[in-house]
Chains A and B, each alone.
Chain A
Amino acid sequence: MAGLVDSFGASLDDLDVTWTRTAPGGLEDALADAVVEPVVGAPLPFEGLSLPDWIPVHPTASELEAARTGVTGAGGGIAEYGTLIVQSRPGGDEPVSLYPERHVAVLRASDLVSGVPEALAFLGEEFAAGRDSAVFATGMSATADMGETVRGVHGPREVHVVIVEDGDGNEPGGGEP
C-alpha cells in the first residue's frame, strides 16, 4: 500500500498536483490547509469519513459559481499516472470537481490501484452496481489551442489531493512537497 501511495505521490508531483497524507483523524486539518475560501463540497462517499461542517454541501448554482475551491471524494486513484477517479453522484461530485478553480480531492489510500486496467476493472464493478459514470481526471485542465500550453481552461487550474491512510500504524503527516 505504501508503495502505491509513494508512486501515486510521485506521479502527482510530476503533474504539479500538491498532496498531503493523513490519518482519518487529521482530515479536517488537512482540508483546512488545502482549501481556499469560498468553498463548496460534495458529501464524501466513504463510511466513517465526512467533510467538516464548514464546507457547505449541496450548494446553489451561484454558490458553485462563486466558489474558489470544490472538495469531493475520489473513488480511486491510478498510481502510474496520478489520476483521480471522480464518480458522478447525486451529491454533485462532477460539477463540484469541475467548476471551481481549485479542486481538492479526498482519496483513501486503500482505493489506489496501480494502472489503467486495474482502474477499469474497479469501474467495471461500479458500473455493474449502477454507478456507471466517472471521470479519470489527471492534473489540471489544460489547452494548447491559444498558442502555448495554459492550465485552467474550463476545469480547475489547481488540484490538491488529501490521501487518507487507514490508521493501521501509518503516521499521518505531510507528503511532498
Chain B
Amino acid sequence: MSRSTRRKAAEIRHLLETEGDAMYENTRVLNEGRYEAIESFDRFEDLREEARETKEAAIADLDGLVERVTESVERNGGHVHLAEDAADARAYVEEVCGAADAETVVKSKSMTTEEIELNEGLESVGIDVYETDLGEFVIQLADEAPSHIVAPGFHKSREEIAQLLNEVYEPEEPLETAEELTRFARDVLGEHIRDADVGVTGANFVLAESGTVVLVTNEGNARKTAVTPDTHVAVAGVEKLLPSIEELSPFVEIIARSATGQSIAQYVTMLSPPTDSPTLGFDGPDDTVEGGSEDREFHLVLLDNGRTAMREDDELRETLYCIRCGACSNSCANFQHVGGHAFGGETYSGGIGTGWEAGVEGLDSAAEFNDLCTGCSRCVNACPVKIDIPWINTVVRERVKGGADPDTFDHLVDGLVPDEEEPGFDLRNRFFGNFETVARAGSALAPASNWLSGAGPVRAAMDRWLGIDRRRDLPRFRRETLRKWFENRESAVRSGAGPTPAREAVLYPDVYTNHVQVERGKAAVRTLEALGVEVRLPDAGESGRAPLSQGMVSTARRAAEETHDALAEHVEAGRDVVVIEPSDLAMFRREYERLLPGDAYERLAANSYEVMEYVYGLLENGADVGGLAPGGGEKLAYHSHCQQRTLGLEAHTEAVFDRLGYDVLTSDAECCGMAGSFGYKSEYYELSREVGDSLLAEMDTRGRRVVASGTSCLDQLESLLDRPTDHPVQVVDPRRTGR
C-alpha cells in the first residue's frame, strides 16, 4: 500500500486500540436510547417533517432573519455582530472581552466556538478560558479535541477521566466514581463561573423576532454561564436562526430524543438578553442579588464563515438544516468504532461532518474522513431534519476524488473503463466504480481470472496500486452467469410444471448475482416460479450503485438512465421488478430520485420490490406457501442489510421465515462493516473486520445457519465465521424441499 494509505491504516489501528472501546460503549448507549425514545413517540415523523419545513423556510429567508434579529437584539439593549469568517468572529469576542477588562472567561459547550478556535484566540491575548460542560472540561484538561459533536469526551472511559483529574488536581482522596468526579468538577467550575468576567455560550437556535438565544442542555452550566457574569456573548452560526418562538416547537421535542434518547432535555433555556435577572456579584460577601438588564451586556455573534456560500450550493445547502444532535454519528457503525478523531475534520465529525467541513473549512478537511462514510444510509432515518447525509458524502467524494491531478495511469484506465469521469479521478475509486466491467471480464476468463487474482504477485500489485487489501478474499467469478443459466433452462411456469402464472416479474440481475453469487439468483427464480410468477431476466446492467459509492456521480447517472430504460418497458407492460441485492433496490427507491426525472423515478420505485418483500406480498395475497422449503424449526441467524433496513424491509424477510416455521434470530447491528468496496480498501480493512466482529459479538450464531441479504454482508460474515452463508431466498428455495 502507498505511504498515505499506510499512515491512514496506522491512525485507524491506533484509535481502535486507544479509543475504540469507550467510543463504542458510549455511542451504542445513545443509539439504543434514541431508538427507544422514538419508538415510544408516535408524533416523531410529523415533527420531523415540520422541523424540516421550518429549516428550509428559515434558510431561504436567511437575510430577512438576520435583519430582524439585529433589530430585536438592539431593541433589547444588546449588540449583534455579523462575522464574515472565524478571524472576524474571534477578533470581535476579543474586543468585547478587552472592553470588559476580562481576565477570565467561562464557556458552555459550543461547536461553533470550536470552529472559530475561540479558546486559542482568547488565550493568545492573555485571557483564561474555562470550559464548564463536564465533557469539554475533561477535553480541555487533556488538551484534546472533541470526539463527538454532542459528547466531546466520549472517547474517554471513567477510569481515564479519574486518572486525568487526579493527576491535574492531586486531591487528598483520589477521585474514582462518576459521582465523585462530577462533584469535584462542579466545585472547580463553580468557582470559575463566579469569578468570570464574561460568559460565552453557543446557541442551538436563535429566534429572530424576540432576539432570543435558545440553549438545550442537561447540566445547567449554560444557564450559569449566561447569567452569572455581567457580560454574555453568544456565538452562533447564521443557520441557527428561526423566525420566532412559534417555530421552535418541533425542535424542542425532537432534539433530545435524537441526541441522547431523552424525551426532552433537562433545560431548554430561552434567553432574550440582556435579561431581567439580577446580576450576581460574588466579589464581596454583602453584594445583593439585584440590578437587572441595565447592568448586563449582551453580544450576539452571528457567524457566516462559508455558510452563505453553502446556501447557494444546491448539494451542500441541506447541511445548514442540521441541528447538531449527533444521531448520524451514533447510528454509524464506523463512527461507533473510531469516533470523531478519525471520522471528523478540523471541527465537525460524523456523517454530517463532511458537509460542515466542506462548507466551512474546505474540501481538504472533508477529504480526511469522507471515505469513512460507506453510504450504508443508517443515518438517513436517524436525522431529525431529514438530511440525506449519504448523498452529501457522495457529492463531496466526487469533488474530492475528481479534484486530483491526472495520474500517469489515467490514459491506461481511460481505455479500459467506460465511465464518465474526467482524468484525475481517483484510480481505486474508478476500479470499484467500474466493477461491472471487471466482473464481465472475470466471468469470461473464469476460472483463470480467479486463479490469477488469487496469486501473490497479483495481490501485491493490487494492494500497491489500487489499495486493495491482500487479506481480503476477492469475489470468485462464475463462468456460467445467471443470465447464461437462465437462457439455457425452461421456465417451470411455461412448461406447466409449476402453478399457472398469476403475475409476471422481471428479476433484476445485479452484477454480483449475475457473475458471483449466481446461486441466490437461481434460488430466486425457482422461488418466484413456485409462487406462480412468470420470471424474465431483463437486459439491464449495473444500477449505478458501484460508481455512486465511489463518488462517480456522472457515471452513476448514466447507469441509472440505462437501467431505467431497460426496465421501463417491463414496468409499462405491468411486470413487477424484483431485486435481490438490497443496495440496488435502494438505488431504485432512494438515489434514483436524484439521478432520474421525477416521473421515471417514481414509476420504477413504485414497482420495484426486494425479493423477500415480494415473496411476503405473494404469500399475503394467497400464493401457496407449500412450494417453498419449510422451516421445521431450523435455526437461523439473520443479518439484514443496512440499506434494506433504511427502506423498512427487514421485517418482511423475518415474517416469511416465521410463516415457514424457521427459528430466526436477527442482528441489530447497524452494518456488517463490509459495505461494498469499503472492506477491500487497505487502510480500512481492519476497521471493517472490527465492525463485523462486534456484529457477531452481539448475535450468537452458534448452531444457526447464517443468513444475510446483501452481497457484502454475506462475504463479510463468511470470511469472519469461516463457514458458508446464504441469502434468505436460498433458504426458502423450493429445491431444498426434498432434503
Contacts and interface: CB of A to CB of B under 8 A. Distances in A.
Interface of A: 58-62, 64-65, 81, 83, 88-95, 98-99, 116-117, 120-121, 123-124, 127, 131-150, 152-156
Q: Which of A95, A99, A153 has the most CB of B within 10 A?
A: A153
Contacts of B289: 58-61, 64, 92, 95
B158 A148 contact: yes
A141 B220 contact: yes
Contacts of B133: 145
A131 B181 CA distance: 38
B599 interface: no
A150 B132 CA distance: 16
Contacts of A132: 76, 210-212, 270, 272
Given A132-B210, A133-B273, A155-B223, A147 B244 contact: no
Contact of B281 (A61, A121, A146): A61
B245 A123 contact: yes
The 7 closest A-B pairs by CB, nearest first: A147-B158, A155-B220, A145-B134, A154-B220, A145-B135, A132-B272, A141-B220
Interface of B: 29, 76, 132-135, 138, 151, 153, 157-159, 161, 178-179, 181-182, 185-186, 189-190, 193-194, 210-212, 218-221, 223-224, 227-228, 244-246, 248-249, 252-253, 260, 263-273, 275-278, 280-282, 285-290, 292
B50 to A, nearest CB: 10
A45 B35 CA distance: 40
B252 A94 contact: no
B38 to A, nearest CB: 16
Contacts of A139: 266
Contact of B287 (A60, A91, A148): A60
Contact of A94 (B181, B212, B277, B287): B277
B291 to A, nearest CB: 9
A156 B186 CA distance: 11
Contacts of B159: 147
A92 B282 contact: no
A132 B179 CA distance: 35
A133 B271 contact: yes
Given A142-B218, A147-B161, A62 B285 contact: yes
Given A90-B278, A133-B275, A146 B244 contact: no
25 contacts: A58-B289, A64-B280, A65-B194, A81-B264, A88-B271, A98-B224, A116-B252, A127-B245, A132-B212, A132-B270, A133-B270, A134-B270, A135-B269, A136-B264, A136-B269, A142-B218, A142-B266, A152-B186, A153-B134, A153-B182, A153-B186, A154-B186, A154-B219, A155-B223, A156-B220
A23 to B, nearest CB: 30
A152 to B, nearest CB: 8
B214 to A, nearest CB: 10
Contact of A135 (B134, B190, B245, B268): B268
B494 to A, nearest CB: 60
Nearest to B262: A138
A140 B285 CA distance: 28
Contacts of A121: 246
B286 A62 contact: yes
Given A116-B249, A123-B270, A145 B153 contact: yes
Contacts of A88: 227, 271, 275-277
Nearest to A131: B276
A120 B248 contact: yes
Nearest to B288: A60
A117 B249 contact: yes
Contacts of A137: 266-267
Contacts of A136: 252, 264, 267-270
Given A94-B223, A95-B277, 15 more contacts: A58-B288, A61-B288, A88-B227, A88-B276, A116-B253, A135-B223, A137-B266, A143-B135, A143-B182, A143-B218, A144-B151, A146-B178, A147-B161, A154-B221, A155-B267
A94 B219 contact: no
Contact of B272 (A117, A124, A127, A148): A127
Contacts of A81: 263-264
A135 B292 contact: no
Contacts of B287: 60-62
Contacts of B260: 144
B245 A124 contact: yes
A111 to B, nearest CB: 17
Nearest to B184: A146
B221 A153 contact: yes
A11 to B, nearest CB: 9
B277 A146 contact: no
